[in-house]
Amino acid sequence: MTTAKDIMHTGAQWIARHETLDRAAQMMRDLDVGALPIADEEERLCGIITDRDIVVKCVAMGHDPAKITCGQMAEGTPRWIEAGSDVSEVLNEMTGHQIKRLPVIENKRLIGMISEADLAQHLDDDQIKEFCARVYTSH
């Protein structure tokens, strides 16, 4: 059985919810990623911030990313997957919620992220086709 831990990329890092969006952008640049999980004071997942969120929901709206926190930008219930979950569960979670990045949690700690690129490296053509069809189409 292929698990979430098998296909994730390691080295994912949290950003604290009190950190500002400009700090999130700097971390994304330094880590060469497009999203960061947001952690609360107990290092529990409380959201995800993307580069697109920073541009569309902050900068394009005329807000200062040095004054808006990641926690203020977090919306909805964050999605995640247990490290030992089967790849089919990963696909169901990502396609069911039309998300392109999924934090991987083990023992209540972030251990990695799964992105579209990770899926492309580990899935067969039919699985990739179904993922794209379900994530990139409107309901």
Instruction: Give percent above pLDDT 90 in the chain.
Output: 55
pLDDT in tens, 48-82: 999 999 999 999 999 999 999 999 988 778 899 99
pTM (whole model) above 0.95: no
pLDDT in tens, 106-134: 988 899 999 888 888 888 888 888 888 87
Rounded Cα–Cα distance for residues 128 and 74 (Å): 28
> Where in the chain does DSSP place strands (E)?
15-16, 35-39, 45-50, 81-82, 101-106, 109-115
